[in-house]
Amino acid sequence: MAKHATVFGSLDHYEQGSAEIISGNVKHYAFSNVYAVAAHAKPYEKVVVGKNLEYVLEAIRAEGTSPWYAASHDEFVLNMDGAVEIAFVKLDAPDAVAPHSKEGTVLVAGEPAGKKMGLIRLRKGHQAILPRGAAYRFVAAEPAVLLQQTVLGDLSVQKWAQICMQPQEHGALA
């Protein structure tokens, strides 16, 4: 039996992945390397790297302190590289901040009104739920990479041409 080794990438060291197309047009397939996307993203830019109906996976370069965010639905975040802290506030008026009619992540104007809920410290491989009814913000002292599952919204950035059609090399998404 062949031995397989799991190799974790990082923002500083990764190999660009690829996809083998069995049939069809390459433009109909989404593939990317979250590290390559995050390496060339602005801090806290939510770049869509996967989509299934209204649901998306977003690669996020965590660096410094993000604005406050909220959503009318639960979200999920996985730390792919680095260390990130998430602060939470239970919103006094969640429907006023993230109404049910608004899909995806929304920005919270100013400081969120509500009770502090505490924080979560994520390291590589750790995950957290970002619950509806709460505001959250990320803090990363050094650049880190997050993969967030949410619903496609106004803050979701779609760069399919740059992700899918660029040469498979470090720096191709700049």
Question: 87, 44, 62: which is closest to 140 by C-alpha?
Answer: 62
Strand partners, 79: 146
Residue recorded with tokens 């390496």: 39
Q: Is 82 exposed, middle or buried (0-12, 13-18, 19+ CB in 10 A)?
A: buried
Dist. CA 33–CA 161, nearest whole Å: 14
Pairing verdict, β 46-52 and 156-157 = parallel
pLDDT for residue 168: 47
CA 172 to chain centroid: 20
Ranges in the chain, pLDDT < 50: 26, 28-31, 168-174
Q: For residues 81 and 35, is the Cβ–Cβ distance under 8 A?
A: yes
Model pTM score: 0.80
Q: Is 143 exposed, middle or buried (0-12, 13-18, 19+ CB in 10 A)?
A: middle
Residue recorded with tokens 């969640």: 94
Strand partners, 70: 106
**Which amino acid belongs to residue 131?**
P
pLDDT for residue 72: 95
**Which amino acid belongs to residue 33?**
N
CATH fold of 28-165 reads: Jelly Rolls (2.60.120)
Question: 124, 140, 42: which is closest to 86 by C-alpha?
Answer: 140
pLDDT for residue 148: 97
pLDDT for residue 160: 77
Question: 31, 25, 73, 44: which is closest to 155 by C-alpha?
Answer: 44
